[in-house]
Amino acid sequence: MAEALIDVLRFIEGSTDEQMDADDAVKVLEGVAHVVGALSEEHRQELIALVGEVAAVETDPARRAFIEGFPEGFGLVDGASGQCG
């Protein structure tokens, strides 16, 4: 499930205006960030671990970079400290 979520978000983030309305894309990305931000600490840690597992086996450098940036980009960790927040 985590891998499917990552793929959908990567597609949305990388879409051009011809592929997807920019306002709709922002709404979806912000909605996901809100839901992820509302996770309990236990669920947040589980998702971070799952994302780490997906990144560890990814062979496509661009996809791996997106996956590795997912925790910070979607509010699972604080970018400045690397701490959950």
pLDDT of residue 79: 58
Any idea which residue has 């496509």 for tokens? Answer: 60
CA neighbor of 6 nearest in space, from 78, 85, 68: 68
Average pLDDT, the chain: 86
Instruction: Give pTM, 2 decimals.
Output: 0.76
**Cα–Cα distance list, 53 to 13, 40, 46 (Å):** 22, 20, 11
Least confident stretch, 29-33, 41-45, 52-56, 62-66: 29-33
CA-CA-CA-CA torsion sign (74, 75, 76, 79): positive
Taking only the tens place, the pLDDT of each residue in 8-42 is: 989 998 888 888 998 999 899 888 888 888 899 99
User: What per-residue confidence (pLDDT) applies to 81?
Assistant: 44
